């Protein structure tokens, strides 16, 4: 496995209950990405509507803050981990060595040079699965000491980091190590689906064979088997078989409508493929947003984690 620099870590300010592992884009590093991402301020989402019987009792005390917050402020019990891709020669930069999760050949056509992606994806899949395992073990250990609760880890990524998270989720390595049950969510911002044409071909081919309610599971298993074989992950444990755990991980995908580096159609293709694999996907397109993240997008991410994961936000 390639040598990865140590992750940048932002510790929680309250009892540690959740870890967010957030992957950077091409040619970035964990610390540089954290420096740009964490200070982003957004309007907190409204608190969940209480049941009718509780509304009278809570109406006088409840309020919605108009002060903007950052993710660490809104989720004080979260530990933020920003890993860095290993140094590798990147074709799109003329072979210059950059920190990347895998090689990229052409920013304008992500289907070019796909075979050059494989080595980095395999290495990054194993590295990230090990990182997820360590964070789950840390959460479980703190829970036993009374400092936290049994592990809840969220994986997230921007641009290439989002694409890498997609392959990590679909490639089955988290399942093989028994880690998917601890995943609270997957957040993908401005991403795409590597090997999309091949995966869509599997979806089409397998779907034609099946018409019963278990069709999505069979298609998902076939996709995982394909990715593991493609990346050489079967060499790790050839006896392992995929299961249905991955489809229980809620997914939020956000994309800027004006993103010319990562066209929003690519995000829609990722969303469509994941839905066809039987996953719960929430895709949002943001008007006026280019290849970056936006304030409304961050509000939606916070609300999604409030509602779909075990991440506990604070309505300050």
The pLDDT, as a whole number, for residue 239 is 62
Give the chain's domains with CATH numbers.
8-45+66-308 (3.40.50.1820)
The pLDDT, as a whole number, for residue 2 is 79
CA distance 248 to 309: 11
Percent over 90 (pLDDT), the chain: 72
Choose the weakest-confidence range: 26-30, 148-152, 240-244: 148-152
Q: Which of 296, 301, 311, 36 is nearest to 156 (CA)?
A: 301
Mind listing the pLDDT tens digit for each residue in 173-194? Answer: 999 999 998 999 999 999 999 9
> Does residue 89 surpass a pLDDT of 90?
yes
The pLDDT, as a whole number, for residue 310 is 66
Rounded (10°) angle between helices 215-231 and 196-209: 140
Rounded to 5°, angle at Cα 270 from 172 and 300:
100
> Between 175 and 206, whose confidence is greater?
175
Mind listing the pLDDT tens digit for each residue in 148-175? Answer: 444 589 999 999 999 999 999 999 999 9
CA distance 297 to 1: 35
Residue 260: burial class (beta carbons within 10 Å; 0-12, 13-18, 19+): exposed
**Contact call for residues 221 and 206 (beta carbons, < 8 A):** no
Provide the H-helix boundaries in the chain. Answer: 30-37, 52-59, 71-74, 118-144, 160-170, 173-176, 196-209, 215-231, 264-276, 295-308
For residue 9, give every residue at least 6 positions away whose Cβ sits within 8 Å of its Cβ, in sequence order, or none. 79, 80, 81, 82
Gyration radius of the chain over CA positions: 19
Rounded (10°) angle between helices 215-231 and 118-144: 110
Q: Which of 162, 143, 101 is nearest to 16 (CA)?
A: 143
The pLDDT, as a whole number, for residue 104 is 95
> Between 282 and 243, whose confidence is greater?
282
Q: What is the mean pLDDT of the chain?
A: 88
Q: Please give the helix or strand (H or E) that residue 98 lies within, else none.
A: strand 96-99
Q: Which of 279, 281, 277 is nearest to 220 (CA)?
A: 277
DSSP per-residue letters across 125-150:
HHHHHHHHHHHHHHHHHHHHTTSB-S
């Amino acid at each position: 496995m390639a040598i990865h620099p140590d992750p940048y870590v932002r510790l929680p300010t309250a009892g540690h209950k959740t870890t967010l592992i957030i992957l950077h884009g091409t040619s970035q590093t964990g610390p540089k990405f954290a420096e740009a991402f964490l200070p982003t301020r957004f309007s907190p989402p409204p608190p969940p509507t209480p049941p009718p019987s509780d509304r009278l009792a809570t109406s006088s005390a409840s309020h919605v803050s108009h002060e903007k917050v950052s993710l660490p402020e809104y989720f004080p019990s979260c530990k933020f981990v920003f890993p860095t891709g290993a140094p590798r020669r990147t074709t799109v930069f003329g072979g210059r060595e950059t920190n990347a999760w895998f090689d990229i050949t052409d920013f304008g056509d992500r289907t070019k040079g796909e075979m050059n992606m494989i080595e980095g994806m395999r290495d990054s899949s194993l590295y990230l699965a090990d990182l997820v395992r360590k964070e789950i073990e840390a959460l479980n250990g703190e829970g036993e000491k009374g400092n936290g609760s049994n592990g809840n880890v969220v994986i997230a990524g921007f641009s290439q980091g989002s694409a890498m998270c997609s392959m990590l989720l679909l490639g089955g390595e988290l399942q093989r190590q028994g880690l998917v049950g601890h995943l609270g969510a997957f957040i993908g911002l401005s991403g795409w689906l590597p090997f999309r044409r091949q995966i869509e071909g599997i979806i089409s081919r397998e779907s034609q064979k099946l018409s019963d309610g278990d069709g999505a599971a069979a298609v998902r298993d076939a996709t995982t088997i394909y990715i593991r074989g493609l990346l050489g992950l079967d060499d790790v444990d050839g006896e392992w078989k995929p299961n249905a755990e991955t489809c229980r991980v809620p997914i939020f995908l956000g994309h800027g409508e004006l993103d010319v580096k990562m066209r929003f159609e690519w995000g829609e293709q990722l969303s469509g493929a994941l839905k066809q694999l039987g996953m719960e996907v929430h895709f949002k397109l943001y008007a006026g947003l280019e290849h970056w993240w936006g304030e409304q997008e961050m509000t939606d991410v916070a609300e999604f984690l409030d509602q779909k994961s075990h991440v506990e936000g604070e309505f300050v």
